[in-house]
């Protein structure tokens, strides 16, 4: 029975916004509601005119499966864009991994992991996180001290342990996820120095957009929260927010406005650059590509059904993390449009000669050495790598190039089939 005394047959109360969060993961969330994502959740629920309810579970192995995947909540706060475990909303903030060091140590002036001053230093790193790859490339793993990635946050904290070791001098610097780096650096006495790693040129980029995670499209209507937020957003709603902390209020309003927006609006689409995009690859893309045909999902599906073109997926392959000896690495299956040839890492703005050769050989195979063959280039939605790759394919003299900007995201939304795929072997691979 609801508040009006009416009998309800719904298993999930539509008047309640259910959020899944970690019970002990400050500065993001805790079961006392003290995290900044707790505050954003409160104001988001207020905008939707719903009650707020939390389902707490440690953010470790199985978090999405046990929470969102088991229909125990409507949304996960602080979800990185591009993670396919759930459907992400448009991002409402951007952050990066950061290096933390003591002021005056000399390492407080380091801005990239390529800096020679890091050679031979003892650096703390959470095992399996993207910066570990950059450290390995730059020869910094020999003296690194690893901290576990998957822990029960109710009883342990890798970030806190790392900062304690830095304070005691057991490590010279530590690399943490940006918000955690700032939180623990400020708590230290004296405060530590934090430098966001936004200038990396080796290994994966360490800057990420953060939004919310919703159930996958086959589980529930993904536009429900967006439409609901759009309906609820009225000027009068702002009156009750005046006593809120300014930063949190801005973030929450921004979250509502961004989530209420369509994934790519015309005014968000940038103009074509003269050359290739060389950074921030997960961002709104142009509406056009000079010399190429731009496909909708219906266009791409028609080509696929008619078998009138070859599909080329250029989504990067996740790098294998640096793991303790004896650890078994199981790569997540890669899904793409059935029949595609997968040429990972070929959509970056700058390619090594070996990677460019790999791309050219893959295109020759896909086209049957026919420069007039229709080639459909794609990766995911809002992915500059497919735009770069299609532009580069044109430069090789292919005359019938199509760019499918919605990629596997648009394909999945249309409930078209996806299939597991293996990358095209490189020279020397079997």
Return the percentage of the chain with pLDDT > 90, whole number.
55
Inter-residue contact 173 to 36 (CB < 8 Å): no
> Residue 229: its pLDDT value, please?
46
Average pLDDT of the chain, as a whole number: 83
pLDDT one-digit tens code per residue, 163-213: 999 999 999 999 999 999 999 999 998 899 999 999 888 878 899 999 898
pLDDT one-digit tens code per residue, 209-221: 998 988 875 444 4
Inter-residue contact 366 to 375 (CB < 8 Å): yes
- Sheet with 293-294, edge to edge strand ranges: 293-294, 401-403, 375-378, 310-313, 341-342
> Residue 270: its pLDDT value, please?
84
Please enumerate in sequence order all residues whose Cβ is within 8 A of that of 199, keeping only pairs 6 or more positions apart, or say none: 111, 112
> Residue 320: its pLDDT value, please?
67
DSSP secondary structure letter of residue 66: H
Please enumerate in sequence order all residues whose Cβ is within 8 A of that of 141, keeping only pairs 6 or more positions apart, or say none: 132, 135, 322
User: What is the dotted CATH code of the domain comprising 293-318+334-421?
Assistant: 3.40.250.10
Domain ranges across the chain: 16-93, 94-208, 293-318+334-421
Q: Give the pLDDT band of residue 149 (cuts 50, 70, 90).
A: confident
DSSP secondary structure letter of residue 333: P
Residue 354 has pLDDT above 80, yes or no: yes
Q: Give the pLDDT band of residue 329 (cuts 50, 70, 90).
A: low
> Residue 14: its pLDDT value, please?
84
Nearest to 279 by CA among 96, 144, 425, 402: 96
pLDDT one-digit tens code per residue, 294-309: 999 999 999 999 999 9
> Residue 326: its pLDDT value, please?
72
308, with CB counted inside 10 A (0-12, 13-18, 19+), is exposed
Q: Between vectors from CA 130 to CA 129 and to CA 133, what angle results, nearest 5°?
A: 110
Nearest to 276 by CA among 199, 171, 346: 346
Q: What is the pTM of this model?
A: 0.53
pLDDT one-digit tens code per residue, 234-287: 444 444 444 444 444 444 444 444 433 333 333 456 889 989 998 888 888 999
pLDDT one-digit tens code per residue, 371-414: 999 999 999 998 999 999 999 999 999 999 999 999 999 999 89
3-state class (DSSP) for residue 22: coil
CA 255 to CA 303: how far, in whole Å? Answer: 37
Q: Give the pLDDT band of residue 323 (cuts 50, 70, 90).
A: low
CA distance to 58, 109, 166, 311, 393, per residue, from 23 (Å): 6, 35, 26, 44, 49
> Residue 218: its pLDDT value, please?
42
> Residue 176: its pLDDT value, please?
96
Residue 230 has pLDDT above 60, yes or no: no
User: How many distinct helices (H) and strands (E) make up the chain?
Assistant: 11, 19
Rounded average pLDDT over 34-49 = 91
Inter-residue contact 37 to 78 (CB < 8 Å): yes
Answer whether the bond into residue 190 is a cis peptide, omega within 30°.
Answer: yes
Residue 26 has pLDDT above 80, yes or no: yes
CA 423 to CA 379: how far, in whole Å? Answer: 13
Return the percentage of the chain with pLDDT > 70, whole number.
82
CA 181 to CA 113: how far, in whole Å? Answer: 16
Phi, psi values for residue 39, rounded to 5°? -65, -40
Inter-residue contact 29 to 22 (CB < 8 Å): yes
What are the residues facing 98 on neighbouring strands? 176, 196
Q: Between vectors from CA 162 to CA 157 and to CA 165, what angle results, nearest 5°?
A: 130
**Residue 16, number of CB atoms within 10 A of its CB:** 13
CA 99 to CA 192: how far, in whole Å? Answer: 10
Q: Does domain 94-208 have CATH number 3.40.190.10?
A: yes
pLDDT one-digit tens code per residue, 87-115: 888 888 899 999 999 999 999 999 999 99
Residue 290 has pLDDT above 70, yes or no: yes
Secondary structure (DSSP) of 159-181:
HHHHHHHHHHTSSSEEEEEHHHH
CA distance to 30, 110, 183, 411, per residue, from 105 (Å): 33, 10, 20, 51
> Residue 268: its pLDDT value, please?
53
Please enumerate in sequence order all residues whose Cβ is within 8 A of that of 405, keeping only pairs 6 or more positions apart, or say none: 285, 294, 295, 378, 381, 383, 386, 387
**Residue 72, number of CB atoms within 10 A of its CB:** 13
Alpha helices, DSSP H only, in 244-351? 246-260, 297-306
């Amino acid at each position: 029975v609801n508040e009006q005394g009416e009998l309800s047959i719904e298993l999930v109360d539509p008047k309640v916004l259910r959020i899944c969060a970690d019970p002990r993961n400050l500065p993001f969330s805790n079961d006392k509601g003290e995290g900044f994502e707790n505050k954003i959740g409160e104001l988001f629920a207020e905008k939707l005119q719903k009650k707020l309810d939390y389902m707490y579970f440690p953010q470790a192995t199985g978090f999405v499966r046990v929470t969102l995947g088991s229909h125990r909540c409507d949304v996960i706060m602080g979800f990185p864009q591009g993670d396919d475990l759930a459907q992400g909303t448009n991002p409402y903030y951007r952050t990066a991994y950061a290096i933390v060091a003591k002021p005056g140590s000399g390492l407080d002036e380091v801005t990239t992991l390529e800096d020679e001053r890091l050679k031979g230093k003892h650096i703390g790193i959470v095992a399996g996180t993207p910066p570990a790859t950059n450290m390995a490339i730059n020869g910094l793993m020999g003296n690194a001290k690893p901290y576990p990635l998957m822990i029960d946050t109710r009883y342990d904290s890798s970030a806190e342990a790392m900062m304690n070791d830095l304070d005691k001098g057991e490590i010279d610097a530590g690399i943490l996820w940006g918000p955690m780096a700032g939180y623990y650096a400020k708590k230290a006495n004296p405060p530590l120095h934090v430098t966001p790693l936004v200038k990396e040129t080796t290994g994966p980029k360490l800057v990420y957009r953060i939004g919310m995670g919703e159930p996958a499209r086959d589980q529930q209507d993904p536009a429900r929260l967006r439409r609901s937020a759009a309906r609820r957003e009225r000027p009068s709603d702002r009156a009750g927010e005046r006593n809120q902390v300014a930063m949190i209020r801005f973030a929450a309003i921004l979250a509502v406005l961004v989530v209420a927006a369509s994934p790519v609006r015309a005014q968000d689409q940038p103009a074509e650059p003269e050359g290739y995009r060389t950074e921030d690859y997960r961002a709104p893309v142009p509406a056009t590509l000079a010399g190429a045909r731009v496909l909708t999902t219906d266009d791409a599906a028609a080509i696929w059904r008619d078998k009138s073109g070859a599909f080329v997926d250029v989504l990067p392959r996740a790098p294998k993390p640096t793991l303790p000896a004896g650890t078994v690495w199981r790569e997540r299956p890669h899904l793409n449009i059935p029949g595609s040839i997968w040429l990972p890492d070929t959509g970056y703005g700058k390619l090594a000669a070996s990677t460019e050769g790999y791309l050219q050989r893959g295109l020759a195979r896909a086209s049957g050495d026919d420069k007039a063959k229709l080639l459909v280039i794609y990766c995911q939605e809002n992915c500059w790598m497919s735009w770069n790759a299609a532009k580069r394919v044109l430069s090789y003299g292919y005359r019938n190039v199509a760019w499918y900007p919605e990629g596997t995201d648009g394909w999945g939304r249309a409930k078209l089939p996806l299939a597991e795929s293996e990358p095209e072997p490189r020279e020397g691979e079997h």
